[in-house]
Amino acid sequence: MNSIFEKIEGQICKVVKDAFTACENKGILPKIQIEDILVEVPRERGFGDFSTNIAMQVSKQAKMPPRKTAELLVSEFNFSGTYIERTEVAGPGFLNFYLRKDWLYDSLHIIQEKQDRYGEVELGKGIKVNVEFVSANPTGPLHMGNARGGALGDCLASVLKKAGYDVTREFYINDAGNQIEKFGISLEARYLQIIHGEDKVEFPEDGYQGEDIKDHARAYFKENGDILVEKSAEERRKILVDYALPLNIKKIREILEAYGVSYDVWFSEKSLHESGAVKKAIDFLIENGYTVTKDDAVWLNGEKLGLEKDEVLVRNNGIPTYMAADIAYHYNKFITRGFDWAINLWGADHHGHVARMKASMEPFGINGDRLEVVLFQLVRLYRNGELARMSKRTGKAISLEDLLEEVGKDAARFFFNLKTSGSHLDFDLDLAVKQSNDNPVFYVQYAHARICSLLRKLKEEGIEPKSIDSVDLTLLQEKEEIELIRKLSEYPEEVVQSAKTLEPSRLTRYVMDIAANFHSFYNACRVKGEDEELMMARIILVDCTRIVIKNILELIKIEAPEKM
C-alpha cells in the first residue's frame, strides 16, 4: 500500500456499496446503478475527514430527496474493519465520514517505510511515454519560452515517472529545413560583411539578426580567413552551417544541463530526411489517397481527415515541409520505437498545429489521442514595469542563459512551475533579479533547512531517532501536528492528480503547503526538551516532513539545503 488515501477510498466505497445493496434487499431503495463513488477531502474540517456526494448523485434514481437517501444508507452502514468511526448526513445530502486517528499514524508508517520512494504510484503501470519538450531551433539562443517549456516538460516527465510510467525525455533537433537555410544565408551575409564591409553586403530582410550570428561568422573568419569567398554560395552556406550548428546544439545542451534538464534522446530531424523516413511517410499518404496535388505541390487532404483546410506536405520545389517531417517523426515515435503515448510541450502559438498532427496519425492506424499536446502560454517579460518584447531577431531578448546567471536554476525552475501551463506568465525581470525574500523557493528550502538543523542539533546532544515501531505516535494530538500529518498523507494522491492533469505545478504548490504546515507546527510545538515519548513521536513527524519535502524538491530538481 503506497497511499493511505487509496485505502480509505476503498473502505468508504465498500461501506457505501454494501449499504446500497442492503437497502435494495430490504426494498427501501430501488435498484440503483452506481457509477464511480467520488470520495473527497472536504474543504472544511467541520465536515469530517472525507466525504462523498453519492446520495445527491443518485437522487433521481432513488426517487427521493438526497438527504433521505443518505439517511437510509447510514442506517445500513457497517464500519467493521475500517478506519471509519462515525458518519453524518450534512448539507444538501453529503455523507461525511469521521475517522479514527490511526489512519494518520499509519500514513507516517508508510512514509518511514517508503522513504524516498514515498509518493510512487502505479497509475502508469509501465506504459511507455515519450515527453518531448523545448526542441528549440538551433539557430539561436534559448529564450524564455524555451525556459518555461523546459521547466514544465522536465517536471512533467518526473511526475509521470513517479506515477509509474516508463518515461523518455526527448529533444527534437530541427537541423533541417527552411530555418537552416535562413541560418546559412544569415551566416553567409555576416561572413561576407566582415570581408567586404557591412555596407557592401546586404543583410537579408528575414535573416537572423542576432549577435550570435555575427559571433559565429567572426569566429569562423578568425580560424579560416576568407577561404569561402571563392566557393559557390551553396557550398559556402553549407560549410558555415556545418561549423556553427554543432556549436549551437552543444551550447543548448550545456545550458539545459545547467538548468537541470537532461535528455534521454536527442533526435535529429535531418536523420529522418536522410534515412528516407520522410519520403516513406509522404508516399504512404499519397498511395492511400490522403493527399491532393495542387499548383505542383502535394497537400494533405484536409477534408478527408476532418481538418479545416489542406496543408502543404511537399512544396512545388520538391522540398518537404516541416509538417511532412513531423508526421514521419511521430510515426517513428509510435511505430518504429513503440511508444504508447507521446506528449509534446508546445508554446501556445503552435496550437493550430495540434489538430492536424493528431489527424495525420490516423492514416497510419495510430489513434490521434495517443498524441497529447500540452500548450503553455508564452512568457511575457516585464522590465521597469513595462512589457519587454522578446525576439530572437532583435538580439536584445533575455536568454535562458542570462536568466540562469541572474536568478539561478532553483528560482527559475520554481517560478516556471508555480502556475498552470495554460495561464499567462508575467515574468518580472526586476523582481526575479532582485532575488528577494518573497521568492517562494526560499520559503520551502528554509523549511527543509530548519528540519535538518533541528535533527542535527538533536544528534549533537546524543538524541537519536527511534524506530517508528517503538514510538507512541498517538501522542501527536495538537492541531498543528494533525494538520501536518494530514498534508503529508496526501502526497501520493497529489502525484496522481498531477499526472492525470499533466500539471506538475500542482506539486510545487503542494510542497509550499507542506512548508506552511511545518512552519506552523514548528512555531506551535517544541521537539527538543519535551518529554522523551513526545519528543520521539515529534522527531518521527519532523523526519517524515523532511522526507516528503526532499522528495518533491528532488523531483522538480531544486536544491534541498541542509543549512541556510
Partner RNA sequence: GUGCCAGUAGCUCAGCAGGAUAGAGCAACGGACUUCUAAUCCGUCGGUCGGGUGUUCGAAUCAUCUCUGGCACGCCA
CA-CA distance, 521 to 539, in Å (whole number)?
12
Q: In the block, which residue shows the cell 515529534? A: 538
* One residue of 59, 209, 360, 399 binding RNA per CB under 7 A: 59
Judged by phi (left if over 0) then psi (alpha if -120 to 50, else beta), residue 125 lies in: left
**E strand or H helix at 411:** helix 400-416
Stretch that binds RNA, among 103-111, 221-229, 249-257, 343-351 (CB under 7 A): 343-351
CA-nearest of 305, 296, 356, 361 to 328 is 361
Q: Does 214 interact with RNA (rule: CB under 7 A)?
A: no
Distance in Å, CB of 185 to RNA, minimum = 13
Residue from 25, 115, 224, 316 in contact with RNA (CB under 7 A): 316
> What is the distance between the alpha carbons of residues 16 and 52, in angstroms, rounded to a whole number?
9
Is 430 among the residues that bind RNA (CB under 7 A)? no
The correct pick among 64, 322, 466, 478 for binding RNA (CB under 7 A) is 322
- Residue 127 C-beta: closest distance to RNA, Å: 20
Kindly state whether residue 306 participates in binding RNA, applying the rule CB under 7 A: no
Counting contacts by CB under 7 A, is residue 109 touching RNA?
Answer: no
CA distance 474 to 327: 59
Which is closer to RNA, CB of 42 or CB of 368? 42
Q: Is residue 288 a contact residue for RNA (CB under 7 A)? A: no
Q: With CB under 7 A as the contact rule, which of the stretches 3-11, 113-121, 432-440, 463-471 interacts with RNA? A: 432-440
**Taking CB under 7 A as the rule, does residue 47 contact RNA?**
yes
Contact positions with RNA (CB under 7 A) in 444-463: 446, 449-450, 452-454, 457
294: contact with RNA by CB under 7 A: yes
Compose the 522-541 pattern: x for residues touching RNA by CB under 7 A, - for all others.
xxxxxxxx------------
Q: Residue 322, SS3?
A: helix
| Interacting residues with RNA between 129 and 148 (CB under 7 A) | 137
Q: Binding string, 167-206, against RNA, x = CB under 7 A?
A: -------x--xxx---------------------------
How many Å separate Cα 80 from the centre of its chain?
41
CB of 349 vs RNA, minimal distance in Å: 4
Site for RNA contains 419 (CB under 7 A): yes
408 Rama sector, left if φ>0, alpha if ψ -120 to 50, beta otherwise: left
**Of residues 494-513, those binding RNA (CB under 7 A):** 503, 505-506, 509
Cβ 517 to RNA, closest distance in Å? Answer: 8
Residue 220 contacts residue 191 (beta carbons within 8 Å): yes
Q: Which of residues 462-481 bind RNA (CB under 7 A)?
A: none
Strands 265-268 and 166-173: parallel
Query: Distance between CA atoms of 248 and 228, rounded to whole angstroms?
Result: 21
Is residue 317 part of the contact set for RNA (CB under 7 A)? yes
Smallest gap from residue 314 Cβ to RNA (A): 8
Q: Which three cell numbers stand for residue 253?
A: 545542451
For residue 43, state whether it binds RNA (rule: CB under 7 A): yes
Interacting residues of 53 by C-beta distance below 8 A, sequence separation 6+: 38, 93, 94, 95
CB of 521 to RNA, least distance (A): 8
Question: Left (φ > 0), alpha (ψ -120 to 50) or beta: where does 134 sit?
Answer: left
Can you read off the three cell numbers belonging to residue 89? 448526513
Which residues does 555 contact at the CB level (< 8 Å), separation at least 6?
Answer: 155, 158, 159, 162, 507
> Which lies closer to RNA via its Cβ, residue 86 or residue 294?
294
Please, are residues 517 and 483 in contact by the beta-carbon 8 Å criterion? Answer: yes
* Of 85-93, 196-204, 222-230, 244-252: span binding RNA (CB under 7 A): 85-93
Q: Is 303 in the site for RNA (CB under 7 A)?
A: no
CB-nearer residue toward RNA: 74 or 312: 312
3-state secondary structure of 433: helix
Query: Which residue among 26, 350, 383, 393 contacts RNA (CB under 7 A)?
Result: 350
Distance CA 170, CA 172 (A): 6
Q: Does 336 bind RNA (CB under 7 A)?
A: no
What span, in angstroms and rounded, lies between the C-alpha atoms of 221 and 239?
A: 12
